[in-house]
Amino acid sequence: MPSREASRRNIAIARARNPRNWRTGQETRIIKLLIWQTYYVEGGAPTQQVLARKFGVDQSWVSRVYRRSEEAMTELGRHARVTLADLQRVRRYRD
């Protein structure tokens, strides 16, 4: 079992190599809501690759978000509609 210090060093190294993949919780929630809105509310979504490029995430992550339909209905009912402007605002604070 690695020590806490070794784990922290490994996380720091991973973040330094690829900071784009480390999203805040708010940014993740907004991206999920955008994907679900596109799929369920607007009816018929573009391909997962198109959505992944549009939101700056991996296609496999978009696929996993699609599969969580029960969670999607709950979240969409709980939150107001989000826009790309909301996503840009959150990313601006992260950078």
pLDDT tens digits along 13-28? 877 776 555 677 778 8
The CA distance from 17 to 12, in Å, is 9
**Average pLDDT, rounded, for the chain:** 78
What is residue 63's predicted lDDT score, i.e. its pLDDT? 87
Residue 66 pLDDT level (bands cut at 50, 70, 90): confident
Considering the chain, what percentage of its residues have pLDDT values greater than 70? 77
- Which of 54, 57, 52, 61 lies closest to 84, judged by CA? 54
User: Average pLDDT of 76-95?
Assistant: 73
The CA distance from 31 to 86, in Å, is 10
Which pTM value belongs to this model?
0.58
